[in-house]
């Protein structure tokens, strides 16, 4: 399964020059999918299929890896793109903004204590490395607030001191302490305020940090990129499977909702709308009854 970030991050180099980046993760083993009917059967009979497959692959040393790449835009690219590059529902065309290699991401270890290493994880979009200034869109701003708020509630005020959430190579220094749960030395005797004269942690300050962009958004075109995907990026087989998946979900809806959906698909591409409409007319809905 490939992965990509929907946010376009504003980044800055050591000279203070800014660019805008989207990150992509492409599995080294390639991409493979189940047909919808296969997926339904497996989810009912063996819902842990994918988890077990991943766990066993890591356990036998066949470590799954992905190639990490990025799409890079300059400020001029942002202005001349012809669409809102910060809109999380839009993709950046690969022919216009090609992928550039960045590194690899490898899963090389299974958890030993599932609760400590998995259940207590606290991923947070606000945790960014120096040089990445976050994304200027409103969805990212909301996620920064929502994730942190949920983690305070779920794990307590000291969740950043839980080992699985600590930096690997650096000592964790923070003024969050004396709450639930207290961990290790719990900050020992350092003062709980800044500035101080008793060797307390100092806040990180990036001297190269630039001001974030302020976005002025025009009315969005919500179909342009869907049309581009269907027309130029999907293979003939992928289009057929898309129609099949739509029919599985839409087949049980009432006629009025089906008609509304077909109108939307026609806007994306007449071929897509026509194929969905024809499939609905064949009546693919299946009914199951208990035997008396």
Model pLDDT for residues 6-40, shown as the tens digit of each residue: 999 999 888 888 999 999 999 999 988 888 888 88
pLDDT range class, residue 170, cuts 50, 70, 90: low
Q: How far is CA 43 from CA 49, 272, 286, 289, in A?
A: 8, 28, 18, 21
289 vs 234 pLDDT, higher one: 234
CA 140, 20, 208: angle at the middle one, nearest 5? 95
- Structural domains of the chain sorted by starting position, each given as residue range(s) with its CATH number in brackets: 3-111 (2.40.180.10), 224-281 (no CATH)
Task: Collapse the DSSP code of 39 into the 3-class scheme (helix H, G, I; strand E, B; otherwise coil) and give the result.
Answer: helix
Q: What is the pLDDT of residues 105-152, one digit of tens each?
A: 999 999 999 999 999 999 988 888 888 888 888 899 999 999 999 998
Which pLDDT tens digit goes with each residue over 82-114? 888 999 988 898 889 999 999 999 999 999 999
Torsion sign across C-alpha atoms 7, 12, 18, 24: negative
The burial of 152, by beta-carbon neighbours within 10 Å (0-12 exposed, 13-18 middle, 19 or more buried), is given as middle
Is the dihedral angle over the CA atoms 126, 144, 121, 88 positive or is it negative?
negative
pLDDT at 175: 63
Element holding 21 (H helix, E strand)? strand 18-27
What percent of the chain lies above the pLDDT cut of 90? 49
Residue 17's pLDDT is what? 87
Q: Which of 7, 3, 212, 217 is nearest to 92 (CA)?
A: 7
């Amino acid at each position: 399964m490939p992965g990509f970030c929907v946010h376009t991050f504003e980044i800055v180099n050591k000279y203070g020059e800014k660019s805008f980046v989207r990150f992509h993760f492409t599995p080294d083993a390639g991409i493979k999918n189940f047909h919808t009917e296969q997926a339904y059967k497996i989810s009912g009979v063996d819902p842990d299929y994918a988890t077990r497959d991943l766990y066993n692959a890591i356990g036998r040393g066949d470590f799954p890896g992905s190639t990490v790449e990025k799409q890079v835009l300059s400020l001029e690219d942002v202005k001349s793109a012809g669409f809102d590059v910060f809109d999380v529902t839009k993709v950046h065309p690969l022919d216009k903004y090609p992928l550039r290699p960045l590194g690899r991401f490898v899963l090389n270890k299974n958890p030993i204590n599932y609760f400590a290493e998995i259940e207590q994880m606290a991923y947070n979009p606000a945790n960014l490395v120096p040089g990445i200034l976050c994304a200027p869109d409103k969805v990212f701003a909301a996620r920064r607030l929502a994730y942190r708020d949920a983690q305070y509630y779920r794990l307590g005020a000291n969740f950043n001191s839980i080992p699985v959430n600590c930096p690997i190579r650096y000592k964790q220094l923070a003024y969050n302490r004396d709450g639930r749960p207290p961990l290790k030395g719990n900050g020992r005797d350092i003062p709980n305020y800044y500035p101080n004269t008793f060797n307390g942690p100092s806040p990180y300050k990036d001297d190269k940090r630039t001001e974030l962009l302020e976005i002025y958004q025009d009315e969005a075109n919500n179909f342009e990129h869907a049309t581009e995907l269907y027309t130029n990026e999907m293979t003939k087989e992928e289009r057929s499977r898309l129609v099949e998946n739509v029919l599985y979900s839409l087949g049980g809806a009432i006629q009025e909702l089906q008609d509304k959906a077909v109108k939307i698909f026609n806007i994306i591409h007449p071929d897509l709308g026509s194929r969905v409409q024809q499939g609905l007319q064949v009546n693919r809905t299946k009914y199951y009854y208990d035997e008396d």
